Amino acid sequence: MPNLYEKLDEIEARYEELTAQLSSPEVLADSARLQKLAKSHADLSAVVASYREWRKYDRQLNEARQMAVEAQEPELKQMAHEEVHMLEERKTALEGELKRLLLPRDPNDEKNVILEIRAGTGGEEAALFAGELFRMYSRYAESQGWRVEVLGSSPSDLGGLKEVEASIQGDKVYSKLKYESGVHRVQRVPETEQQGRVHTSAATVAVLPEADEIDVKIEPKDLRIDTFCSSGPGGQSVNTTYSAVRITHLPTRLVVSCQDEKSQIKNRARALRVLRARLYEMERQKQHEQIAAERREQIKTGDRSEKIRTYNFPQNRVTDHRIGLTLHQLDTVMDGRIAPLVDALVAHYEAERLNRELGDAA
């Protein structure tokens, strides 16, 4: 893998150059430049640390191999062979880690997200399930130290959610949740079922990277903004002022409504955040469709029409169909402990990307 190590040598040289620049008086006096260089330095640190560790094991491995050849005593020779085996395993693992670290980063991984959950087929039961999914993601977000802010919601008559939109803010939220988009299917006996039969219902989940104003420019002339009175379940009026906001983006015909706040200004700001995220996602989809198979494969994983997961309550089982992972811990999953699913998906798709990168390089 000569090309890989040439690239790693270049990265290490760049890292050393940045280290020197960060301590120079000229950079320390320029806060904007200091911040930019510090980020570049931090981005390279993991790669450089792993590469240096790999070189250390490479040196130790050569020494152990030499000892295995030169040792006269059987015990020393055996110990040297065992050390060679251990060091070869560690060196191979580090090579895999280095390849993973060198994969092109998804520029959205650092972003906050807009989470949208909508009840699908199944009526009230689907709405109840949508509400439970939102609770599941909220609990998971809490365990990660993230903040959840509801931007808009529409409750059902039985206490579920017909739909909900929320912002989840924290460290690398999109990198963890980006594979959650799709159709989530539930199999259980609904509360409304009198004969104990298992029904199948569904809810859709969309995870959109939250766009900054720099990412998406929205022209005021492209918006139609309507205001109306908020209403609660059953259509009962809960607000006698025109605080609810409906924004229509005229070029795309996207419509976003928000009525959770009593302030029209706050509802408008929240609706614009959702609209900006949806427009950003539309643009990302267009870009993905124009480039190679790798990107199209990534699109597939986020297709909302794709049934990605089944939650079977009678058997306490959850199955992710994309990676064939089944856990008999549905009760804990619904309580927000979805890390085993999230981490397995991230590992699976990173491995796929790595295989494609190596295939392209060959």
Would you call 303 helix, strand, or coil by DSSP? coil
Output the pLDDT for position 288. 64
Residue 358 lies in a domain: no
Domain boundary among 101, 133, 153: 101
Residue 360 lies in a domain: no
Does residue 217 register a pLDDT over 70? yes
Q: How many domains does the chain have?
A: 2
Output the pLDDT for position 313. 94
Residue 331 lies in a domain: yes
Output the pLDDT for position 298. 36
Output the pLDDT for position 241. 66
Tell me: do 268 and 126 sit in the same domain: yes
Phi and psi, residue 350, nearest 5°: -70, -40
Give the domain CATH number at 30. 1.20.58
Does residue 235 register a pLDDT over 60? no
Tell me: do 94 and 128 sit in the same domain: no
Encoded tokens for 268: 């408008």
Residue whose structure tokens are 């991984």: 109
Residue 272 lies in a domain: yes
Tell me: do 31 and 96 sit in the same domain: yes
**Interaxial angle between packed helices 2-22 and 74-101, expressed in degrees from 0 to 180 and rounded to the nearest 10:** 70
Cα–Cα distance for residue pair 31/221, rounded to 1 Å: 37
Output the pLDDT for position 236. 45
Tell me: do 232 and 309 sit in the same domain: yes
Tell me: do 134 and 260 sit in the same domain: yes
Residue 361 lies in a domain: no
Residue 108 lies in a domain: no
Give the helix ranges, DSSP H, for 23-122: 25-28, 31-70, 74-101
Cα–Cα distance for residue pair 107/343, rounded to 1 Å: 19
Tell me: do 258 and 128 sit in the same domain: yes
Output the pLDDT for position 4. 74
- H or E element that contains 147: strand 147-155
Output the pLDDT for position 149. 92
Residue 107 lies in a domain: no
Tell me: do 82 and 124 sit in the same domain: no
Read off the pLDDT of residues 21-67 as tens digits, 9 standing for 90 and up. Answer: 999 999 888 888 888 898 889 888 988 999 999 999 999 999 999 98
Beta bridge partners of 225: 247
Output the pLDDT for position 320. 96
Read off the pLDDT of residues 152-188 as tens digits, 9 standing for 90 and up. Answer: 889 998 889 999 999 999 999 999 999 999 999 999 9
Tell me: do 128 and 229 sit in the same domain: yes
Tell me: do 124 and 93 sit in the same domain: no
Residue 254: domain span: 113-352
Residue 359 lies in a domain: no
Give the domain CATH number at 170. 3.30.70.1660
Does residue 330 register a pLDDT over 90? yes
Phi and psi, residue 145, nearest 5°: 80, 20
Domain boundary among 50, 71, 101: 101
Output the pLDDT for position 190. 82
Distances (CA, A) of 90 to 64, 67, 341, 356: 14, 18, 27, 24
pLDDT category of residue 237 using cuts at 50, 70 and 90: very low
Does residue 300 register a pLDDT over 70? no
Tell me: do 205 and 336 sit in the same domain: yes
DSSP designation for 119: E
Tell me: do 158 and 213 sit in the same domain: yes
Cα–Cα distance for residue pair 87/53, rounded to 1 Å: 12
Amino acid occupying residue 331: D
Amino acid occupying residue 144: Q
Read off the pLDDT of residues 243-297 as tens digits, 9 standing for 90 and up. Answer: 788 889 988 888 888 887 778 888 888 888 888 888 888 887 776 665 444 334 4
Which of 172, 175, 198 shows the shortest CA–CA distance to 185? 198
**pTM given for the model:** 0.67
Cα–Cα distance for residue pair 34/18, rounded to 1 Å: 10
Tell me: do 96 and 163 sit in the same domain: no
Read off the pLDDT of residues 53-103 as tens digits, 9 standing for 90 and up. Answer: 999 999 999 999 998 888 888 888 899 899 999 999 999 888 888 877 887
Q: In what order do the strands lie in the sheet with 113-119?
A: 147-155, 161-169, 113-119, 199-209, 182-188, 307-312, 317-320, 325-327
Does residue 210 register a pLDDT over 90? no
Domain boundary among 101, 126, 145: 101
Read off the pLDDT of residues 105-130 as tens digits, 9 standing for 90 and up. Answer: 788 888 899 999 999 988 899 999 99
Output the pLDDT for position 303. 40
